[in-house]
Amino acid sequence: MLYSLYEAGYYAGAPWRAAALATRDFWSSPLNPAADTDFGRRMYAGADLYANLTRRYGRPAWGIDSVLVDGKPVRVRETEVWSSPWVKLTHFARDAADLRRAGRRELAPAVLIVAPLSGHFATLLRGTVRAFLQDHEVFVTDWSNARDVPVLEGRFDFHDYIDHVRDMLRALGPRPHVVAVCQPGPPVLAAAALMAEDGEASRPATMTFMGSPIDARLSPTVTNRLAEQRPFAWFESNMVHTVPAPYPGMGRRVYPGFVQLAAFMSMNLQDHQQAHLRYLQQLMAGDGDGADRHLAFYDEYLSVLDLTEEFYLQTVDVVFQRYLLPKGELVHRDRLVRPAAITDIGLLTVEGENDDISGIGQTQAAHDICSGLPDDLKADYVQPHVGHYGVFNGRRFREEIYPRVRAFIAEAEARFDKPAFDSPGEPA
């Protein structure tokens, strides 16, 4: 019912949005002699803010056409190398001729970046991808919006997620590297443990966990406390709703993206209010650069996707209420997941000092449960002065975190003396 009411509210507001857009166009027209007056800028700013706050935000484009490698531009193209109804594995293939002109003739390591399936689209990791593209062949999990997947495609749960990670690692060939950003930490670690125990040739060479709730019992945040305080039945009754028409997934039960977004924004509501007030003031003052930065951030932040009922509820249960992985009790397809079986996969954990989503210690817990790993294959880093977002994006990520991840991967490449990924062809 909530989903239908949300849709009805959006369509009921269409006349007001149309009026706001017309007002914005009128007061920004170069043919309007009053457009550059104080009154004109105020009218434009108010109409623009209303239009942006009430419009729909679709899946953003990656917009990565080129990157700088050693200071020289290298063209990049997106290619789909593996897919299911639930995810598209996207390869950001760098142009081989441009790489040679940049002096890069060696084979590049393949890195699978597993984007979070927790409300936002994978494009939230655009800055992460750009950084890794300087030195690696980068593959990203671009997860589907559950409301766009027809009910006939079946279900997608926590264990399907683990299977998908395993299948994508296999698609990349022998010993790729995997980076899990936030939510994927537990299922990625489970996939690595199963592949290690089976001795699979495509088990990762390294796994990097960034702000991940490996053990959510440690340094609990507001998110963790909510999961602990509410019974499982509360999440099932209050957070899951039915996709209405005309979406392809109509009839599917989901955790809606707009509900997740409301939860995100409520955690820092005053900050968001101040940001929109600054945006309004920048428009009225004619500060186009400041307004553009605001729009760029919120165009991404307000773009959300739905999660399937089963994946969302199992994540709450497995990761945030029963803590099955760190307790050694996670069972996948009638098989106990044994992180101690991991003996030759490098482990790097990265946390932010001010992370209010995954508290300090939750990611570091991976070192304790991967008890079969020797110390020389483990590394941990806590980045000062950053919150959750800063762990995988922004200036400190580019200048302080990414170089450490790059060095960790390079060390593993040298240690295992394994074949790398030959760009831009297929995995070796």
- Does the residue 409 lie in any domain? yes
Half-sphere exposure in the Cβ direction for 177 (13 Å, CA): 30
**Domain co-membership, 103 together with 212:** yes
**Domain co-membership, 297 together with 314:** no
Give the total residue count for the chain.
428
**CB-based burial of residue 352 (10 Å sphere; 0-12 exposed, 13-18 middle, 19+ buried)?**
buried
**Domain co-membership, 124 together with 199:** yes
Of 301, 327, 353, which one is at a domain's C-terminal end?
Answer: 301
- How confident is the model at residue 418, as a pLDDT? 54
**Domain co-membership, 183 together with 326:** yes
What is the separation of C-alpha 150 from the centre of its chain, rounded to a whole number of angstroms?
Answer: 23
**Domain co-membership, 344 together with 319:** yes
AA letter at 7: E
Phi, psi of 58 (to 5 degrees): -85, -175
Number of domains observed in the structure of the chain: 2
Q: Which residue range is the domain that position 112 belongs to?
A: 66-228+307-416
- Does the residue 238 lie in any domain? no
- Does the residue 134 lie in any domain? yes
**Domain co-membership, 93 together with 210:** yes
Averages of pLDDT over runs of 10 residues in the chain (428 residues) are 88 91 92 90 91 88 95 96 98 95 89 95 96 97 97 98 98 96 97 98 97 96 89 94 95 94 80 87 82 85 94 97 98 98 98 94 98 96 95 96 97 75 43
22's tokens: 């017309």
Half-sphere exposure in the Cβ direction for 282 (13 Å, CA): 17
Rounded to a whole number, what is the distance in angstroms from the first to the last CA of the chain?
50
pLDDT tens digits, 283-321: 888 777 888 888 888 888 889 999 999 999 999 999 999
Cis peptide before 424 (omega within 30 of 0): yes
- Does the residue 215 lie in any domain? yes
Q: CB count, 10 Å around CB of 268?
A: 13
**Domain co-membership, 121 together with 265:** no
- Does the residue 233 lie in any domain? no
Q: Are 212 and 183 a contacting pair, CB within 8 Å?
A: yes
175's torsion region: left (phi>0), alpha (psi -120 to 50) or beta? left
Give the Cα-Cα-Cα angle 196, 381, 358 (nearest 5 degrees): 80
Helix pair angle (288-301, 269-285), 10° resolution: 140
**Domain co-membership, 347 together with 402:** yes
Mode of pairing for the β-strands spanning 253-255 and 241-242: antiparallel
**Domain co-membership, 24 together with 166:** no
- How confident is the model at residue 416, as a pLDDT? 73
- Does the residue 133 lie in any domain? yes
- Does the residue 97 lie in any domain? yes
204's tokens: 């990762």
- Does the residue 426 lie in any domain? no
| Cα 178 from Cα 345, distance rounded (Å) | 10
Q: Are 304 and 257 a contacting pair, CB within 8 Å?
A: yes
Least Cα distance to 365 among 405, 329, 325 occurs for 325
**Domain co-membership, 33 together with 115:** no
**Domain co-membership, 50 together with 77:** no
Tell the residue number behind the tokens 């029963």, with chain if given. Answer: 322
Beta bridge partners, 75, equal: 66
Which pTM was predicted? 0.91
Whichever domain contains 409, its CATH number is 3.40.50.1820
**Domain co-membership, 34 together with 94:** no
